[in-house]
Amino acid sequence: QAAQKGGHKHFMIKEIFEQPKVIQDCLCGRLGTDLDEVRLPELDDLPGTPKRIHVVACGTSYHAGLWGMYLLEQWARIPVQVEIASEFRYRNPILDPDTLVIAISQSGETADTLAGIKLARSQGLKVLGLCNVVGSSVARESDAVLYTQAGPEISVASTKAMCSQLTALLLLALYWGHGNGNLDEKIHRDVVHGLRNLPDLLESTLPALRDKAHELARTFSDVNSFLYLGRGLHYPLALEGALKLKEISYIHAEGYAAGEMKHGPIALIDPKFPTFAIAPDDELFPKVKSNLVEVQARSGQIVALTNVGLDLDVPHRWDVPRATGPLSTFLALPALQLFAYEVADYLGKDVDQPRNLAKSVTVE
């Protein structure tokens, strides 16, 4: 096992550091250096651009789906609904045959997600599986499969698989948005260019992200609870940051849409209930900033993932490099993963095998 960990203490940290390669592998053949457009021959068996999309998934894969919804709606103008598979399968959903179901699953063996696929297919819907494990049940039960190419993920807490799911969803949004003419040409060009540089940018950023996570983990490892906030594309990341922290450190955490904080969580804010905000340079930054002013007014401590030069005065500022539009996600995600990892490791938890959790949940 030591050899398999490639010199790292845990599989989780090894897998976090593999993410530049994971992005590269997921792009490979789909966005080569010679290609200006995304190529996804895997979709050839599906009937063109879908009219509507239902995403069905669990856990981290569900968070990836929520993130994908923002981009698919914004770029391709396709209405998207994202569902927790265990809810979808029992709520007798109204399914239109023009709807494409995207089932997202790292393992391809999650029982609830598989049940969602069966339900959709029994009503005549086409299913696109987004999964990592070749030949898995999700791959076999779907009409088409887009493999996310993350390689084997051993750590129970999913890290690099989510990175690959986001890459695949981004490619789908580019592909359909460009195909149906709804995606602005300049945005398409800039994102394609940014994607090509993304693996190098992430590779060169990861060591500094880890150092900062290490430092912050020592400051916050004794808290009982954490609030994660984000807006827009970064709301699903807030959910994922909170999930990672609770999964491996057993510290309670909840992720919230920052604008929703005033409808409940603000009552909890005090010096012992810190907030982890995802506040990069985007059109919603001023809104997140004003949410954080509210936290500070109640003596809440704040860690803020943000960008150099942004006007944000918080005690624990975490500056990450800028990236083109939604690509900032690919720098924020490892920061959240590394923070959870460093806290759990500092607390001496079993990082790769957290109590009560399984890598793949094949029963209800």
Q: At closest approach, how far in Å is the CB of 186 from ligand G6P?
A: 34
Q: Does 307 bind ligand G6P (CB under 6 A)?
A: no
Chain positions 125 to 164 lying near ligand G6P, rule: CB under 6 A, are: 156-158
- Whose Cβ is closer to ligand G6P: residue 165's or residue 328's? 165
Q: At closest approach, how far in Å is the CB of 10 from ligand G6P?
A: 15
Work out which of 28, 134, 293, 357 binds ligand G6P, going by CB under 6 A. Answer: 357
- Whose Cβ is closer to ligand G6P: residue 113's or residue 307's? 113
Q: Does 101 bind ligand G6P (CB under 6 A)?
A: no
Q: At closest approach, how far in Å is the CB of 59 from ligand G6P?
A: 3
Q: Does 110 bind ligand G6P (CB under 6 A)?
A: yes
Q: Does 324 bind ligand G6P (CB under 6 A)?
A: no
Q: Does 113 bind ligand G6P (CB under 6 A)?
A: yes
Judged by DSSP in three states, 199 sits in: helix
Is residue 298 packed enough to be buried (19+ CB in 10 Å), middle (13-18) or exposed (0-12)?
Answer: middle
- Whose Cβ is closer to ligand G6P: residue 101's or residue 323's? 101
- Whose Cβ is closer to ligand G6P: residue 62's or residue 339's? 62
Give the strand pairing for 99-105 and 52-57.
Answer: parallel
Is-contact 59 192, C-beta < 8 A? no
**Alpha-helical regions (H) of the chain:** 11-17, 19-27, 59-71, 85-88, 111-122, 137-141, 160-179, 185-220, 234-249, 285-297, 329-346
* Catalytic residue check, 160: no
Segment contacting ligand G6P (CB under 6 A): 93-101, 105-113, 228-236, 275-283? 105-113
Q: How many angstroms separate the CA atoms of 127 and 171, rounded?
A: 17
Q: At closest approach, how far in Å is the CB of 210 from ligand G6P?
A: 21
Number of residues that bind ligand G6P (CB under 6 A): 16
Work out which of 106, 149, 205, 249 binds ligand G6P, going by CB under 6 A. Answer: 106
Using CB atoms, what's the residue nearest to ligand G6P? 59
- Whose Cβ is closer to ligand G6P: residue 58's or residue 192's? 58
Beta-carbon contacts of residue 361 (< 8 Å; ≥ 6 apart): 58, 110, 111, 112
Q: How far is CA 29 from CA 87, 123, 277, in A?
A: 36, 33, 36
- Whose Cβ is closer to ligand G6P: residue 187's or residue 361's? 361
Segment contacting ligand G6P (CB under 6 A): 15-23, 26-34, 104-112, 287-295? 104-112
Is-contact 66 82, C-beta < 8 A? yes
Contact characters 50-69, ligand G6P, x per CB under 6 A: --------xxxx--------
Q: Does 329 bind ligand G6P (CB under 6 A)?
A: no
Q: How many angstroms separate the CA atoms of 194 and 188, rounded?
A: 10
Judged by DSSP in three states, 364 sits in: coil
Give the strand pairing for 144-147 and 316-320.
Answer: unpaired
Q: At closest approach, how far in Å is the CB of 26 from ligand G6P?
A: 15
Judged by DSSP in three states, 335 sits in: helix
Segment contacting ligand G6P (CB under 6 A): 102-110, 225-233, 285-293, 330-338? 102-110
Is residue 145 packed enough to be buried (19+ CB in 10 Å), middle (13-18) or exposed (0-12)?
Answer: buried
Work out which of 99, 105, 167, 291 binds ligand G6P, going by CB under 6 A. Answer: 105
Is-contact 72 172, C-beta < 8 A? yes
Q: Does 111 bind ligand G6P (CB under 6 A)?
A: no
Q: At closest approach, how far in Å is the CB of 345 from ligand G6P?
A: 18
DSSP letters spanning 213-270: HHHHHHHHTT-SEEEEEE-TTHHHHHHHHHHHHHHHH--EEEEEEGGGGGGTGGGG-S
- The active-site residue out of 5, 21, 287, 359 is 359
Residues of the shown chain interacting with ligand G6P in the complex, contacts defined by CB under 6 A = 58-61, 105-107, 110, 113, 156-158, 357, 359-361
Catalytic residues: 359
